[in-house]
Amino acid sequence: MCGIVGYIGREQAAPILLEGLSRLEYRGYDSAGVAVFDSQTEALAVHKAKGRLQVLSERLHGGADLDSTVGVGHTRWATHGAPSDANSHPQVSHSGKIAVVHNGIIENYAELKAFLMEQGVPFTSETDTEVVAQLIEYFYQGDLLQAVGRVLRRIQGAYALGILCADCPDQLVAVRKDSPLILGLGEDCTFIASDVTAILRHTRRVYYMEDGELAVLTREGIQCFNHLMQPIEKEVAAVDWEIDAAEKGGYEHFMFKEIMEQPEALRRCLSPRIRDGEIVLEDFPPDFLRDISRICIVACGSSYHVGMVGKYHLERLTRIPVETSLGSEFRYMDPIVDQHTLVIVISQSGETLDTMAALREARRLGGRILSIVNVVGSSIARESDQVLYTWAGPEIAVATTKAYTTQLALLSLLALKLARARGTLSDSEYHASLDAFQALPDKMEQILSRRDDIQYFASQYFNHNSIFFIGRNLDYALGLEGSLKLKEISYIHSEAYASGELKHGTISLIEDGTLVVALSTYEKLFAKAMSNVVEVKSRGASVLALTTERRREEMARIADAVMTIPDIHDLLLPCLGVVPLQLFAYYVALMRGCDIDKPRNLAKSVTVE
Ligand code: G6P
């Protein structure tokens, strides 16, 4: 979490930094700051403010007040020290000479701080980052890069750093270890950024930094170094995201825009991969998907919910045992992985630290790593043996939507491909499933065109305090995502339960008027789902059901309200079924006046453990 940006060029730096930060606010938004080298005073000018970036931006009149052509900026998701002006970044050394922006955590900061305090260095914040700024100054003897190198030998943890020194205003230093950082090459200018959306307006030519690398940026170019401080040559990558893909384009919220973009995102993700009745995945080595005796899926948040659906699909289609684990749990559970284990890592950002740690543990144990990722060139993508990109385009809203559906579609396609390769699926089943993939975007468009119905349901239920989602099998996995969407953006307490488990405890919470969202899209278990609806109704619940068109009437006889999705092959039910739940969460949050794109306490890219 936290977003970093840096600029050195010939234009005024502050407006560029603030504009870049506005694209990174999804990474953290409890405070923001910039440090620039002020050409008048020949010293660093540091401006920070608690709260949204807008507070800082207004205070600085969009940056127009700051006369400088070099600087760094930061938007924060607090880890060490509460959100406050003092704890905001940039953190500055005691003489004011060194300014540092940081994404990550310095794990041994306490002992380093104690050491520096013994040397008489005064501290002004509670952050781990201030230690880095003070330590650089402690070692600085006229060569910034050398001082940074000495600091890197002493700090432990995860960090992407942008460093500016008042003595050398013609350079910026960037460092990366376990937190994302890219470098941008413009005309007479260079950039540092946590992700490409921050600099897309200025350049599409980037370097992806590897762990342990450093870089010195000047107006003329970028020199990169390895962890031994030896100069290295890196390949320039071209980014193909469109600028307007990262803009709201007339929509009130990114989340709504991204919900509406889903059919197009699915077309981009699926069309090139289904050709002449066959699934054509990326160029995997011929043996990569052979001799697999076990599959482990690891992910966090919504990506984990994709993995839950994936388990059902993969086991049913391929008969290979599948375990889906949370990234944050995987490495601590002594996982069973060997060279015949396919480890599927799912991540929108490709930077989630827990997921990354799980990947590394799986690699250490000899597993074959296949990742499903949205952000091209991200850490998880680069550390995997093979990558399937979702091609959903930039996703800005903290609550994921189009990344979820494209991940799900891609994982389902992979399940089908594996089943075909193993001969566990008849030709006719295979082709029927493939036809369903091709019909998916159009069917999703039908749901989106009827969004007013869902808005109406939201208006009926938005003031409930607690909402339960129930379902079995695929519908249970779907309920987990529906419930997460609702709680993260509307702040309504919500839980998802496997319907059969209700009677083992949770049903005691059902009383007159409790809202239960009953999911019953999975045809095979429709009768069971109906029984559970009856069960909660007879205890006073109001039931908002989600089912398929073909079951609408039957469900309407019992439920208080019914949302439907077009009939589709089982494989793609959750992919369609999630759309009404996304819309429901969105409209409920809208009616409750919530900050939809930036819910409290959250961040989109979670790069701390
Ligand atoms: C955060 C986001 C979620 C996301 C999760 C995992 O919590 O708000 O939307 O599902 O991280 O992120 P990843 O980028 O690994 O999919």
Q: 70 with 17: CB under 8 angstroms?
A: no
328 lines ligand 1 (CB under 6 A): no
Q: How far is the CA of 150 from the centre of ligand 1 (A)?
A: 34
| Closest alpha carbon to 247 in 239, 238, 257 | 257
The residue out of 186, 217, 240 marking a domain boundary is 240
Q: Which CATH number goes with the domain that contains 541? A: 3.40.50.10490
Look at ligand 1, atom 1, and give the residue with the nearest C-alpha. Answer: 604
Strands 274-275 and 278-279, sheet pairing: antiparallel
- CA atoms within 13 Å, Cβ hemisphere of 219: 11
pLDDT recorded at residue 606: 76
Look at ligand 1, atom 15, and give the residue with the nearest C-alpha. Answer: 347
Residues 277 and 330 reside in one and the same domain: yes
Q: How far is the CA of 274 from the centre of ligand 1 (A)?
A: 28
pLDDT recorded at residue 506: 83
pLDDT recorded at residue 553: 96
Residues 124 and 171 reside in one and the same domain: yes
Residue 596 lies in a domain: no
Look at ligand 1, atom 3, and give the residue with the nearest C-alpha. Answer: 301
pLDDT recorded at residue 502: 85
302 lines ligand 1 (CB under 6 A): yes
Within the chain, which residues score under 70 in pLDDT? 244
Q: Which CATH number goes with the domain that contains 233? A: 3.60.20.10
Residue 340 C-alpha from the chain's centroid: 29
Q: How far is the CA of 603 from the centre of ligand 1 (A)?
A: 8
Ligand 1 atom with the shortest distance to the CA of 603: 8
**Active-site residue 2, yes or no?**
yes
Residue 606 lies in a domain: no
Cβ neighbors of 66 (< 8 A, separation 6 or more) are 12, 13, 14, 34, 36, 38, 45, 47, 60
Residue 608 lies in a domain: no
The residue out of 447, 469, 501 marking a domain boundary is 447
**Active-site residue 300, yes or no?**
no
Q: How far is the CA of 56 from the centre of ligand 1 (A)?
A: 27
Q: 475 with 520: CB under 8 angstroms?
A: yes
Residues 441 and 554 reside in one and the same domain: no
Rounded to the nearest 5 degrees, what angle is found at the Cα of 603, between the Cα atoms of 600 and 608? 125
Residue 353 lies in a domain: yes
Q: Of these residues, 48, 311, 443, 604, which one is catalytic?
A: 604
**Substitution site in 1, 297, 300, 305 for ligand 1 pocket (most atoms within 8 Å of beta carbon):** 300
Q: pLDDT tens, 387-434?
A: 999 999 999 999 999 999 999 999 999 999 999 999 999 999 999 999
Residues 517 and 378 reside in one and the same domain: no
Ligand 1 atom with the shortest distance to the CA of 300: 6
pLDDT recorded at residue 282: 81
Residues 172 and 78 reside in one and the same domain: yes
- The two tokens of residue 365 are 């144990």
Distance CA 299, CA 318 (A): 21
Residue 602 lies in a domain: no
| Closest alpha carbon to 86 in 49, 133, 121 | 49
Q: How many structural domains compose the chain? A: 3
Residues 76 and 47 reside in one and the same domain: yes
Residue 204 C-alpha from the chain's centroid: 21
Q: How far is the CA of 604 from the centre of ligand 1 (A)?
A: 6
Range of the domain at 73: 3-240
348 lines ligand 1 (CB under 6 A): yes
Q: How far is the CA of 556 from the centre of ligand 1 (A)?
A: 35
Q: Of these residues, 2, 189, 224, 594, which one is catalytic?
A: 2
Ligand 1 atom with the shortest distance to the CA of 299: 15
Q: Which letter does DSSP use for residue 360 in this model?
A: H
Look at ligand 1, atom 8, and give the residue with the nearest C-alpha. Answer: 604
Query: What does the mean pLDDT of the chain come to?
Result: 94
Q: pLDDT tens, 540-574?
A: 999 999 999 999 999 999 999 999 999 999 999 99
Ligand 1 atom with the shortest distance to the CA of 602: 8
Residues 215 and 343 reside in one and the same domain: no
Residue 65: φ, ψ to 5° = -75, -15
Burial 548-574 (b: 16+ CB within 10 A, else e): beebeeebeeebbbbbbbbebbbbbbb
Residue 455 lies in a domain: yes
pLDDT recorded at residue 241: 79
582 lines ligand 1 (CB under 6 A): no
Burial 240-267 (b: 16+ CB within 10 A, else e): eeeeebbbeeeeebbbbbbbbbbbebbb
Q: Which H or E run contains 313?
A: helix 301-318
Residue 38 lies in a domain: yes
Residue 597 lies in a domain: no
Residue 90: asked if its preceding bond is cis (omega within 30°), the reply is yes
Residues 488 and 416 reside in one and the same domain: no
Distance CA 583, CA 250 (A): 18
Is residue 140 packed enough to be buried (19+ CB in 10 Å), middle (13-18) or exposed (0-12)? buried
pLDDT recorded at residue 86: 85
- CA atoms within 13 Å, Cβ hemisphere of 131: 24
The residue out of 217, 240, 263 marking a domain boundary is 240
Q: pLDDT tens, 335-392?
A: 999 999 999 999 999 999 999 999 999 999 999 999 999 998 899 999 999 999 999 9
Q: How far is the CA of 303 from the centre of ligand 1 (A)?
A: 7
